[in-house]
Structure 1
Amino acid sequence: MTDLPPPFDRVVLGDLVTSETILRDGFVAVRDGRIAAIGAGPPPPAVTVSDHRGMLVFPGLVDGHMHTSSAMGWGGIEHATRSAAAGGVTTVVDMPYDIPKPVTDAGLFAAKVEVVERTAHVDVALYGTILKTGGTQHIKALAEAGAASFKLSTYEYDATRFPRIDHLEMERAFALIAETGLMVALHNEDQEIVVGLTAAAQASGRTDPIMHCRTRPPLCENLANVTIFEIGLATGAHVHIAHSSLARGFDLAETYRGFGMRASGEACIQYLCMTEDDIVRLKGKGKCNPPFRTAEEVERMWDRLVSGKVAYVSTDHAPWPIDRKLDEDIFKCGAGLTGLQSFAPLMVSLLAERGLPLTLMARYCAEEPARYHGLLPKKGRIAVGADADLCVMERGDFTFDEASIVDRPECRWSPYHGRAMKARVAATYLRGRQIWDGASVLNRPGDGAFVKRQTV
């Protein structure tokens, strides 16, 4: 008698959405936390069958740009990753600009990894950064510790936590990062323009919400883009715009790729749907850097996405406590939006509203961020051998309610509150285990894990 293989640990049923196609009435079979088989039709035997037939099964989303610890330090990791689990985001790539110290050396990196392993609800990859001056000697050790990418800034939000790196220091850093093969992402705003225009606005008494946009005009962003790409061209680094609010950012990246350098840029989801009218409506809840642009610019952003010029789509999730977003003086409000829990519903909705294929979400919100941060083939795909990370979306007519956010109470606010959505997250699976059931986070702090960069 031939021995039959044991049943799979779990089989997940539904319409499988990859970056290439939608497999109707499909199944994903899981063994030991990884995808062991994919198919359509009658599923194989399994210990547990998760029946999501009629729903969309995406790869777990990979958010390539978010901040768990910029407002509350490493204690924010637990709660931000809870929100990720509820949003179908199974891997986050966390920025290094933490309170009280940014992640600038291997010791700080290791300490943050320990907190991730103890408190995270989803898997976490990490950026590294450098000190304002004199810290480039730590770049190699950060890469060896498993950093997914590096992040620097042309604009100073805080001299210690989020410093501006001057051009000479940036050139030194880029050259050393180039030796590691890792990508360096840049916050792309010109310091001189922002400081000068903000001072003039304050002097004139104009501190109303629209002045956030007026003091950070497109020129501010484009000047920074050209600077970072020129330094990248000179040093051989892979330079990446961390958030382009302008289609021109992607055009510039394409131009510099034509010169033979590695140049790329990402679009945060807010720049695909929010306009200047929204910051007037939302006030501090709509403040982010770079700011929202015009409705015409949103259309140009979509053109670049559909034409393949955008690296990936992220959230730039920054869970400021609500009291940091309520000042009537827009310049006193914290800059950043919550977005992890709304990411998947909003992306499905935006694609549906524009009649675009849902495969774009699997590509730009899972596979491509995983590729850019060196997490393939472990993350970002529904593929045999990959981690069994899945985001299940139920289609219908829903309304996003900020009260449903599972972060700390003071972070339960959203710029998308009250927005009509075409889908909701019905279930999330991390390495084959269900961690969200549409209403509750099912796993515990520490069930998430640190993910080293897999490939260069």
Structure 2
Amino acid sequence: MYDLLIKNGKLVTPDRIYEAEIAIQDGKYAAFLAKGTKVDAKEVIDAKGGYVYPGIIDCHAHLNEPGFEYREDFETGSRAAVSAGCTCLIDMPLNNDPSLMNKEIFDLKMEKISKHSAVDFALWGGIVGDYDDKPGSVKNNMNDLVDLHKCGVAAFKGFTCPNGDLFPTVNMGNVRKALEILKPYNALCGFHCEEFGQVLEREKEAKAKKQERTKEEKIRDFLDAHDVWTEYVATKNVIDMARATGGRVHICHVSHPMVAQVVKDAIHEGLPITAETCPHYLGFTEDFVFEKGAPAKCTPPMRTKEDMEKLWDYVLDGTLSCVGSDHSPAADEEKDNETKDIWSAWGGLNSIQFFLPMMFDMVVHKKNLSPTLIAKVMGYNPAKIFGLYGKKGAFELGFDGDIVIVDPQKEWKCEQEKLFTKGHISCFDGLEGKGAPVCTIIRGKVVAENGKYKEDAIGYGQYVTPVRND
């Protein structure tokens, strides 16, 4: 007798959709059976013809614990994630205090987050430039990278743009050194690519304008300060460091087709480069920033309509092989249009609770593309790139029994007062679409139904480490 049987569903993989029953035993896929096969199971879930995915992986999310729990913590962020169909997320350090830059902080983080995550999770480690550790000393964390790798982090993240004192910017020397250190371990290094000097000077110039600026003029100044050239130059520089070292590089949240083309050229050259984008770059433009103001501030910013449409070509041809939410929440007062302008507002979007619904609506209903694209860029590819394949990302015997059942016609609406995240200001407030998860299962356990997490899911999530040979 199996623990769980999912019947009457349409299984979705990167290359096909087919009907089959799924049996789960001891939290793993135990059998894939012809439709209508009679088997005994302790629990049976009728998918009612819905699309059945082998879990959804969010490869880029900031849950801010430890350090900035007033913005988000693992309980609030993970309950929103599973409600939206996410079965595994890879948490990324930001300006946390402390950010994940050594083994001691890793131990501290695990002690906190492992107790109350509803979602299975992997971790990005940090790559940081010089910082003040204590009075009189300045150092970076190059000597801590191997220890973090041994802790099982899935990848490493650095920022090439101004980023604050708690998670200092890396220069190209840091990038090159990190790639040299981590290459023997085949470790992946991801980068927020905006070139430091351009951003610093262009922001300084914009903020120094003496004439009174309207809200719209300030937004235009902000967008111009973070134009495509800041992203393009940084991306080329980081790729050059991959060329110099042979180290694996992942370009985070590509926002513009010109940047995507640089990535494509590097891939065709044979360099070990991968890249991702996000729903807000595929479905929204700079006009959205003018409309929403502070809640829509993020970097890189959203681009023009023409840029947005061209970016889809690079998702479809596989250049942008992953889509991550880049959930980067804020306290409500940090996104308040009444008290914050585009410069003083927190830069990040509250998006995790509508990560899958937004993408499904865009892919299937707006673009008339196959639901298989979701399985590829939000499951299979992230699992492969971040080393989780073997546990996550595919319908394979012995993999974790993760399931997301999506009703393709289920209507949804983002209402920020109903968000499960700690902060409730979202630029997506009022957004509507079709296609939403009706059941989320992690390792054979139902953790959410009909857009609402289960209370007993809190604490169920487990740390997932990459499948490695070292």
Is the structural similarity TM-score above 0.5?
yes
On the 8 A contact 2:162/2:200 being kept in 1, the answer is: no
| Structure 1 match to 2:429 | 417
| Structure 2 match to 1:184 | 189
**Matches of residues 47-446 of structure 1 in structure 2 within 5 Å?**
47-69=42-64, 72-73=68-69, 76-97=73-94, 99-133=96-130, 134-160=140-166, 162-204=167-209, 205-206=212-213, 208-326=218-336, 327-352=339-364, 353-396=366-409, 397-408=411-422, 411-442=423-454, 443-446=456-459
**Aligned equivalents of 2:397, 2:426: Cα separation in 1:** 36
- Alignment TM-score, normalising by the size of structure 1: 0.94
| Structure 2 match to 1:4 | none
> How far apart are residue 143 of structure 1 and its match?
0.6
On the 8 A contact 1:116/1:124 being kept in 2, the answer is: no
**Aligned equivalents of 1:271, 1:333: Cα separation in 2:** 20
**Aligned equivalents of 2:75, 2:98: Cα separation in 1:** 18
Paired letter, 1:186: F
- Unaligned 5+ runs, structure 2: 131-139
| Structure 2 match to 1:12 | 6
**Aligned equivalents of 1:251, 1:170: Cα separation in 2:** 21
**Aligned equivalents of 1:404, 1:59: Cα separation in 2:** 27
| Structure 1 match to 2:135 | none
**Aligned equivalents of 2:398, 2:425: Cα separation in 1:** 37
**Aligned equivalents of 1:212, 1:32: Cα separation in 2:** 52
**Aligned equivalents of 1:325, 1:265: Cα separation in 2:** 28
**Aligned equivalents of 1:198, 1:302: Cα separation in 2:** 29
On the 8 A contact 1:67/1:317 being kept in 2, the answer is: yes
On the 8 A contact 1:209/1:284 being kept in 2, the answer is: no
Paired letter, 1:65: H
Provide Cα deviations, 1:231-272, integer angstroms capped at 9, x if missing partner. 111111111111110122222122223333201210111110
For residues 413 and 380 of structure 1, do their structure 2 counterparts lie closer, same or farther at Cα, with a shift above 3 Å needed?
farther
Q: CA RMSD in A?
A: 1.7
Aligned residue for 2:293, secondary structure, equals helix
**Aligned equivalents of 1:27, 1:403: Cα separation in 2:** 37
On the 8 A contact 2:84/2:451 being kept in 1, the answer is: no
Question: How many pairs align?
Answer: 446
> How far apart are residue 328 of structure 1 and its match?
4.1
Paired letter, 2:458: P
On the 8 A contact 2:281/2:303 being kept in 1, the answer is: yes
Tell which deviates more after alignment, 210-219 or 277-286.
210-219
Tell which deviates more after alignment, 82-91 or 247-256.
247-256
On the 8 A contact 1:376/1:455 being kept in 2, the answer is: no
**Aligned equivalents of 2:271, 2:315: Cα separation in 1:** 21
Aligned residue for 1:436, secondary structure, equals strand
| Structure 1 match to 2:33 | 39
**Aligned equivalents of 1:144, 1:58: Cα separation in 2:** 31
**Aligned equivalents of 2:355, 2:457: Cα separation in 1:** 22
**Aligned equivalents of 2:393, 2:220: Cα separation in 1:** 37
On the 8 A contact 1:210/1:279 being kept in 2, the answer is: no
**Aligned equivalents of 2:332, 2:360: Cα separation in 1:** 27
Tell which deviates more after alignment, 284-293 or 411-420.
411-420
On the 8 A contact 1:146/1:453 being kept in 2, the answer is: yes
> How far apart are residue 98 of structure 1 and its match?
5.1
- Unaligned 5+ runs, structure 1: 1-6
Provide Cα deviations, 1:356-406, integer angstroms capped at 9, x if missing partner. 000000110111111111000201112221111111112223323223321
Tell which deviates more after alignment, 51-60 or 357-366.
51-60
User: Aligned pair 1:449/2:462, yes or no?
Assistant: yes
Aligned residue for 1:63, secondary structure, equals strand
> How far apart are residue 20 of structure 1 and its match?
1.5
